[in-house]
Amino acid sequence: MARTYRVVIGVMGAAQCDEPTYGLAKRVGTLIAERGAVLLCGGRGGVMEAAARGAKEAGGLTIGIMPGMNASETPPNPYIDVAIFTGLRDGRNWVNVCASDAIIAISGGYGTLSEIALALKIGKPVVLLHSWDVPARDFAPLYVAETPEQAVELAFQSAGVATASAVQTESS
């Protein structure tokens, strides 16, 4: 059966980052939007903001999976279109992983590491872009990219969703 809902690429990274990392994440967001996928992230600052900004400025749709119950607890960054408040705190990292067709981890702290690990636990593709040096075990769908272009290409390929833009056209 043809897939009717949109492709979602998750971008994971820390809530604070330096400028080069912000630039990488923004570019990744732009490329995801240009390929017609939805950008999902944790909705906060740093890498999450940069990725959402890149996607939104390219006309894409951005989803933030928020740790808090509401915006008073965890305000979404200004580039989030739809804020999914979860009230699960960092337990929402599990949702980030399940809800993405593939994730791209950019730099990142322990929260990002948890998302990489949870994704690999359930066989969800992970692309590392200047991120944690996690070893690939068995047949884990783990990829390493050097550039935003490579990262996004690997994410789409590994998720088996090369037809993202087609799907988006139909569903828009």
Interacting residue ranges for a second copy, rule: CB under 8 A = 3-6, 8, 38, 61, 63-65, 69-71, 76, 78-91, 93-95, 98-99, 109-111, 113-114, 117-118, 120-122, 134, 137, 140, 171
Q: What minimum distance in Å lies between the beta carbon of 2 and a second copy? A: 9
Q: What minimum distance in Å lies between the beta carbon of 116 and a second copy? A: 8
- Gyration radius of the chain's alpha carbons: 14
Beta bridge partners of 63: 40, 82
Q: Two tokens at 97? A: 């992983």
Q: What minimum distance in Å lies between the beta carbon of 124 and a second copy? A: 9
Query: 21 or 93: whose CB is closer to a second copy?
Result: 93
Q: What minimum distance in Å lies between the beta carbon of 84 and a second copy? A: 4
CA 54-142-51 angle, to 5 degrees, is: 10
Residue 71, CB-side half-sphere exposure with 13 Å CA sphere: 6
Query: 76 or 149: whose CB is closer to a second copy?
Result: 76
Nearest to 136 by CA among 148, 146, 123: 123
Query: 121 or 149: whose CB is closer to a second copy?
Result: 121
Query: 34 or 81: whose CB is closer to a second copy?
Result: 81
Q: Are 9 and 38 in contact (CB under 8 A)?
A: yes
